[in-house]
Amino acid sequence: MIIADQQYITWLRDIKLNIQRSQIKASVAVNTELIKMYWYLGKEISEKQEKSVWGSGFIDQLSKDLKAEFSEMSGFSSKNLRYCKSFYEFWQQAVANLQINENQLDIFKIPWGHNIMILQKVKNEGEAHFYVEQTIENNWSRAVLEYQLETKLHERQGNIVSNFINTLPKIHSDLAQQLFKEPYHFEFLSISKHSKEADLERQLIKNITEFLLELGKGFAYMGNQYKLYAGSKEYRTDLLFYHTKLRCYIIIELKIGDFKPEYTGKLNFYLNVIDDTVKSEDDNQTIGIILCKSKDNIEVEYSIKNIQKPIGVGQYIYTSELPENLKSNIPSQKEWNSILENNI
């Protein structure tokens, strides 16, 4: 019987002592110490399963013994101990593949449920690392993380077609490119193919909380139908934002249908006016974004090729076009509002 194996008994005693130490430290840093404890358990289980002759059933025995010793604690089920093992083995491999020190891993900064969800849904270490970093940066709830995983944010981030590399300094062009995504998911909209651009703008403003969260961290909403003056004439941009990290204004023009080359000329005009009449000396160059229902990337590239102002063109989709499994993962209004308080 494994329960009478002296090697197992000695090993179990060491496990208990380390958990007790984690309990003491947990009063200071609950989540970090908890994840470190699970890392330790995963490491021990992985190494013992490889080297010992106890068989696969020892995890069930360990679960029983830990529950008996630490009856006031949860997390010692056989299922969770197997998660600990998978967690440790996955990130040990990531340390090798990503060529980083395990102390550089940020997995200890996010909740255990978030860690498990990432392990269950990602394909490789690079993707997992992306979602860990994004969870920390944006303070995602588990529901929002699940939605971002399901909508494959790692594939959308930075995919917008732009001329940033030719129109912005290197340090700004890289950041700007990663800031914008494609496609944008406007799952909170209720529009049809018969809707007009004014309807799209109106609904985005009505749902500004969700819109800002889909845009990402750092966007400050300055207004819609923002008035610009050139000579004796008045013009209006659809939406105007200021980005706190890029330290620049961002114009977003909304199109309900296909992209057309003439859209870039009008946006270029707006960018010139903003830079001359609104931007201060401390602000960086204003960026223009066109969001449309569909586009041809080759047509877009020719349209922005020789323009001297930074312009990006992206697509969007909305709720009626999302698969049913994604609709069920859309965070509630309460969850969006809670996250907004920590990000905007």
pLDDT band at 329 (very low <50, low <70, confident <90, very high): low
pLDDT at 91 over 90: yes
pLDDT at res. 21: 66
Read off the tokens for 340.
């907004």
CA–CA distance, 36 with 27 (Å, rounded to integer)? 14
**322: which DSSP letter?**
S
pLDDT at res. 172: 92
Q: What residue spans in the chain does CATH classification 3.40.1350.10 cover? A: 156-343
Q: Convert 43-65 to b/e letters by CB count within 10 Å (16 or more is b).
A: bbbbebeeeeebeeebbebbbeb
pTM above 0.95, yes or no: no
Residues 123-137 have a mean pLDDT of 91
**250: helix, strand or coil:** strand
CA–CA distance, 205 with 223 (Å, rounded to integer)? 9
Q: Which residue has the tokens 């430290």?
A: 25
pLDDT at 339 over 80: no
Residues 1-19 have a mean pLDDT of 75
Indicate the CATH number for domain 156-343.
3.40.1350.10
Selection from 268, 317, 267, 316 nearest residue 291 by Cα: 316
Q: Mean pLDDT over all residues of the chain?
A: 86
| Segment of 19-23, 47-51, 107-111, 213-217 carrying the highest mean pLDDT | 107-111
Residues 195-200 have a mean pLDDT of 84
Beta bridge partners of 318: 186
The alpha helices in 139-169, defined as continuous H runs, are 142-150, 153-156, 164-167
